Amino acid sequence: MHTPEEHRQYLHRISHKRIAPPALTGHTSVAQALDEVFLSYNAGRLREACQLFTTKMLDENCTVGVTLSGALTPAGLGISCLVPLLEAGFIDWIISTGANIYHDTHFALGMDLHQSRPGLDDHQLRQHNIIRIYDVVFEYENLLGTDQFYRTLCRGEAFQRTLSTAEFHNLVGKYLAAHEAETARLGRSFLAAAYRAGVPVFTSSPGDSSIGMNLAALQLEGSALRIDPLRDVNQSAAIVWDAKMNEGRSGIFIVGGGSPKNFALQTEPQIQEVLGLDESGHDYFLQVTDARPDTGGLSGATPSEAMTWGKVDPEQLPDTVTCYLDSTVALPLLTMYALHKHPPRPPRRLMDRLETLTTQLQQEYSARGRKS
């Protein structure tokens, strides 16, 4: 039996702090509310997520990868969140669905998307050539115009070669950034912002989007453009390998889940299991998801499960947070918190060094002599 004093001592060991929040006012800042009022349940996990991202993942020695799934850019989160985070140096590399990049392009080209409401008559929308993504609506012409942009751009000589998705998106971002500058529309596209900041943007499933569909059509025309997903595997692994060398750290911020989540986390098994290099897993794992773990799906898989695959360093499990919340709620709050709490970081410009980093990984693999 434990004594009352031992009971109190145990309580103090497991207590973060006593629950005694201040009363909210109209002058309470977002950062203050997150720190002092978001105390328990998923509000508490969001607080932990914001604090982990800002105090540890934004350390100068940590390379931050962000994965994006779900229809984030149609809801304006590219403009409101991703561009400011990129411009502040808070994102070093990205893995996104192709759909997020495709819809991001609408904004760069000056096409409008509109807030509406769920439950609209989809037959009426179809008759009026209106596309719906839940409560976001826009004209069908946006799709046709964006398709035409990609086909015209990618027929150009600069694209007539084999590229990784990061190399492809960097080249597209170059043209989008120039278009933004010409039309005084800076800050509308996260792909353009990534190009300006030298941030690689990968797509884990390059054929699974309207961009991939248009590139497939160009292939039927005889285009020499080829997307090499195996180059993506080596380049993303090279980024993480470089991050962990010289006592550096790697942090992954997973917005949603899906294929981008796996592609980011598989960099560690690629380094350890396949290439046979000494490594122990990502240092920081932060996920915002609405997927449950008990269905066995990847999107809901926990950091402790990822640890069994070598994806997360088992010594760093305390530095993992999973927040079960809609990404469209969590991402703006985390963005405001980080921008308020942390000064901008110098950009790592990994895109500028991607070829060098991949060569270094290749040399390390060759030196270890792993052939079996």
Q: How far apart are the first and last CA of the chain?
A: 57
What is the reported pLDDT for 7?
A: 82
Which amino acid, 202? Answer: F
Which amino acid, 357? Answer: L
What is the reported pLDDT for 76?
A: 96
What is the reported pLDDT for 370?
A: 60
What is the reported pLDDT for 312?
A: 64
Between CA 355 and CA 246 the distance in angstroms is 19
Of the residues 56, 174, 311, 341, which is catalytic? 311
- Quick one: how far is CA 235 from the chain centroid? 16
Q: What is the DSSP letter of 312?
A: B
Q: Write out pLDDT tens, residues 282-300.
A: 899 899 988 677 666 556 5
Token pair of 99, please? 């759909």
What is the reported pLDDT for 358?
A: 97
Write down all domains in the chain, each with its CATH number in brackets: 30-368 (3.40.910.10)
Q: Write out pLDDT tens, residues 317-361.
A: 567 898 999 999 999 999 999 999 999 999 999 999 999 999 999
What is the reported pLDDT for 174?
A: 97
284-289 and 320-324 as β-strands: parallel, antiparallel, unpaired? parallel
136-139 and 114-115 as β-strands: parallel, antiparallel, unpaired? antiparallel
Q: Is 311 a catalytic residue?
A: yes
Q: Do the Cβ atoms of 282 and 261 come closer than 8 Å?
A: no
Report the side by side order of strands in the sheet with 62-68.
Answer: 201-202, 93-96, 62-68, 249-255, 284-289, 320-324
What is the reported pLDDT for 10?
A: 85
Burial class (CB in 10 A: 0-12, 13-18, 19+), 49: buried
DSSP-derived 3-state class of residue 22: coil
Q: Do the Cβ atoms of 202 and 236 come closer than 8 Å?
A: yes
Q: Which residues, in sequence order, are CB contacts of 335 under 8 Å at separation 6+?
A: 80, 81, 84, 85
Residues lower than pLDDT 70 in the chain: 291, 294-318, 369-372
Residue with tokens 């997020």: 100
Residue with tokens 């000494």: 278
Question: Model-level pTM greater than 0.75?
Answer: yes
Q: Do the Cβ atoms of 219 and 102 come closer than 8 Å?
A: no
Between CA 190 and CA 66 the distance in angstroms is 13
Concatenate the DSSP letters of all residues of 330-342 into one string.
Answer: HHHHHHHHHHHHS
Residue with tokens 């899906």: 258
| Beta bridge mates, 353 | none
Between CA 249 and CA 27 the distance in angstroms is 37
